[in-house]
Amino acid sequence: MDSIYDLIVIGAGPGGYVAAIRAAQLGMKVLVVEKESALGGTCLRVGCIPSKALLESSELYYKTKREYGMHGISVEASVDLAKLMARKDSIVTQLTKGIAGLFQKNHVEHVAGEAKFTGPKTIAVGDESYEGKAVIIAAGARPATLPGIEFDGRNIVDSTGALSFDEIPESLIVIGAGAIGLEMASVWSRLGSTVTVLEYMPQIVPGLDAETAELAKRILGRQKIKIETGVRVTGANADGDSVAVTAEGKKEGDPPRQWTAGKLLVSVGRRPNTETLNLSAAGIETDARGFIPVNETLETKSPGVYAVGDVIGGLMLAHKASEEAVAVVERLAGRQASVNYAAIPAIVYTDPEIASVGKTEEQLMKDGVDYKKASFPYAANGRAKALNAKEGFVKILADPDSDKILGAHIVGVHAGDLIAELALAMHVGATVKTVAQTTHAHPTLSEIVKEAALAVHGEAIHI
């Protein structure tokens, strides 16, 4: 045994590296094991960050061609894809090096390699062995696929592949209308691809408030992203420079349906990275889908071994993993800590953005919870008009007795920023009236939130 640590963290993504840094700040001796050569996990290396870089670049190009004229600006626009990708890669490199710098600053030790349990709190990395007083599993997840479809890294790709095309596809099919699928559809559609999105469920972003999802679908459709819901894909085959995708007929007895495109992105969820950890040596068993069961303190069946983020299922969000990681570490340090799962926001970074927190109307109706609702449109906001961002709304669901917010849903420019106010209100238990009575600067998009809160009580001013 080479050393005993207060905490060993498996994985250096937004759950793992945040856990390690916070633990070191609290005086713990920490070791992080990461199998990839760069720190940051999927989110930073091949997920959240590079996708947002591409979204920003493609949106600027799209608006240059489609919107600048109305401002009296005349320019010619073209895309240098290699330079666009280089910018994305540079951002990722800077941030991964930044995490390495934070590890050094906080005296967090880092070992590169694949971690395997050899006992309840002992980890082997190659020929070396390490022991921890506590262990946090934050190994993340990887893209899933469908039966009959295999990634080939060229024509049939996962989200990582869709971040690195060396040419703009003439046409692209995306299977899955979740956050990743819609974001990648937006990137390549803006850059010139003909994009078709196929979703098995009856709405985009399954689990999203239905009214919100329908509005977002209509807006994305006007951007010439073709979206079909209720499509059960049965297979895909690459032949030369094209891919044929097949699905069941619309009705029983109908012939199979088929689409053809140059590239296929399969974005149908993620699978936890738990198979190679040798969890049985720690006395841990996964469920049927590979997720690690944990209790209310995020502790596994093995005392002192915890799991956070994608490996435990639930919302697969970077910020959820980070909050869970901090909560575990704070409790290990003897402090009180918890995660308010009812107030975790989720965002889809399309244009317009889609953001939500709390319950949907459908969930409240299913649970038999009484509620009142109201929404306020972007079109009635001066700042939105100035930004040419008139499509969208802020929708609030509230308890009719306590006036507390049960859920909030936004479609519109900067929805991901605006949702933070409503998430905070939910976290601290503020009432809708409190949000409505809070002074919001004018002219700002945040006034849409204020007006939606006023509208819950029938008091909206600007509509």
Whether the bond into 256 is cis, omega within 30 of 0:
no
DSSP secondary structure of 152-171: -SSSEE-HHHHT--SS--SE
Q: What is the DSSP letter of 299?
A: B
Does this model's pTM top 0.95? My answer is yes
Question: Minimal CA–CA distance to 319: which of 353, 347, 355?
Answer: 347
The pLDDT of residue 2:
54
| Cβ atoms 457, 432 nearer than 8 A | yes
What are 431's strand-pairing partners? 404
Burial of 111 (0-12, 13-18, 19+ CB in 10 A): middle
The pLDDT of residue 133:
98
Amino acid at 99: I
The pLDDT of residue 257:
97
Q: How far is CA 332 from CA 28, 106, 341, 348, in A?
A: 10, 18, 20, 34
Q: For 230-253, what is each residue's pLDDT tens digit?
A: 999 999 999 999 999 999 998 888
Q: What is the DSSP letter of 69?
A: G
Residues in the chain: 463
Identify the active-site residue in 440, 442, 457, 462: 442
The pLDDT of residue 130:
97
CA dist 93 and 53 (Å) reads 12
User: For residue 160, what are the contacts with CB-CB under 8 A and spacing of at least 6?
Assistant: 46, 143
CA dist 66 and 431 (Å) reads 41
The pLDDT of residue 146:
96
Question: Minimal CA–CA distance to 105: which of 41, 46, 17?
Answer: 17
Q: How far is CA 189 from CA 127, 228, 309, 326, in A?
A: 48, 16, 31, 38
CA dist 69 and 24 (Å) reads 53
442 is catalytic: yes
Other Cβ atoms within 10 Å of 143 Cβ, number: 23
Q: How many CA atoms within 13 Å lie on the side-chain side of 29?
A: 8
DSSP secondary structure of 441-456: -SS-THHHHHHHHHHH
Q: pLDDT under 70 in the chain at which residues? A: 1-3
The pLDDT of residue 1:
47
Q: For 129-154, what is each residue's pLDDT tens digit?
A: 999 999 999 999 999 999 989 999 99
| Cβ atoms 227, 220 nearer than 8 A | yes
CA dist 169 and 162 (Å) reads 10
| Cβ atoms 292, 311 nearer than 8 A | yes
User: For residue 245, what are the contacts with CB-CB under 8 A and spacing of at least 6?
Assistant: 173, 175, 198, 233, 235, 236, 258, 259, 260, 261, 264
Query: What is the torsion angle, in degrees rounded to the nearest 10, for the CA atoms of residue 231, residue 252, residue 156 and residue 89?
Result: 10
User: For residue 293, what are the contacts with CB-CB under 8 A and spacing of at least 6?
Assistant: 285, 286, 287, 300, 301, 312
Q: How many helices (H) and strands (E) does the chain have?
A: 13, 24
